[in-house]
Amino acid sequence: MTARPEAVTVPALRAFKERRERIVAVTCYDALFARLLDASVDLLLVGDSVNQVLAGAPTTLSATLEQMLYHTRLVSRGAEHALVVCDMPFLSYQVSVAEAIRNCGRALAEAGCQAVKLEGGRAIAPTVRALVDVGIPVIGHLGLTPQAVQAFGGYHVQGRGAEAAARLEDDARALADAGASAIVLELIPAPLAARVTAAVPIPTIGIGAGPDCDGQVLVLHDLLGLTEGFNAKFVKHYAELAGAVRAAVARYAGEVRSGQYPGPDHFFAK
């Protein structure tokens, strides 16, 4: 029998950086996949991307708190080793610090995650500080923050040019100073991600941010090749499951129509 790996804790994230050990993160939205992924990864992010990937919405903006709590609860049930992080949806933490504490607190108390993720830099640093002060660990998110897609005018690389890069680095320092435990860096030039990673004492977790971050995250359904038609440069397919699903269900449909299924092995004669 192999020993189960020790559960990843929030303080352990910083230790990964100190040991120069890369953090492996992936999105997860349910207990079934959480059980499959748990032993291989360090962090399961219940991303608000669930609103696009599973719920079919055009953006993450319409994700609700109840939706995120529901999916986080499912993932928490399936995870024993990996750290579970709930991505807080649009308007659940921006309106006031009091609302942020109540909503993020619900993610820990009701959905069983160990940390929450918030998008934004200096503008939300006071909220991050207030959350950390009441015992709610926070992971920040900078660069292409999808909840700001309307302000960005689309899903474009962020932090290009000296001024934008300096702003992003200041945002990262502000999050670290406010007590954030890690920062997701999404869709920024690799040299900027390397600079930010060197500038802050907390780990950076990149997605479309190059090889020099302290860890990497991908949307599970992208890496499994399930999200057909989404071909971002930074995504690598480790399987082609969309084709496998179509082929399996087409075979099933054919066998049902031809009467081949159920065969003698698949029913009770008495």
Out of 37, 44, 49, 131, name the contact with ligand KIV by CB under 6 A. Answer: 49
Residue number with the shortest CB distance to ligand KIV?
47
**Does 48 participate in binding ligand KIV (rule CB under 6 A)?**
yes
CB atoms within 10 A of CB 266: 7
Which of 184, 196, 200, 213 lies at the binding interface for ligand KIV (CB under 6 A)? 184
47/121 with CB nearer ligand KIV: 47
- Give 222: exposed, middle or buried? Use CB within 10 Å, 0-12, 13-18, 19+: buried
Yes or no: say if 178 and 129 are a contact pair by the CB < 8 Å rule: yes
Q: Is 227 exposed, middle or buried (0-12, 13-18, 19+ CB in 10 A)?
A: buried
CB-CB contact of 183 with 155 (8 Å)? no
Q: What is the DSSP letter of 264?
A: G
SS3 of residue 139 by DSSP: strand
Give residues 86-125 in contact with ligand KIV (rule: CB under 6 A).
87
Within 8 A by CB and 6+ apart from 201, the residues are 14, 17, 176
Part in contact with ligand KIV (CB under 6 A); list of ranges 40-48, 74-82, 97-105, 244-252: 40-48
Kindly state the tokens that stand for 12: 């352990």
Catalytic residue among 21, 110, 186, 240: 186
180 is a site residue for ligand KIV (CB under 6 A): no
Q: Is residue 84 a contact point for ligand KIV (CB under 6 A)?
A: no
Q: Is 186 a catalytic site residue? A: yes
Indicate the residue among 229 and 264 with the shorter CB distance to ligand KIV: 229
Query: Minimum Å distance from CB 106 to ligand KIV?
Result: 18
Q: Which of residues 145-164 bind ligand KIV (CB under 6 A)?
A: none
For binding to ligand KIV (CB under 6 A), which residues are involved?
27, 45, 47-49, 87, 184, 186, 207, 217, 219
Residues taking part in catalysis: 186
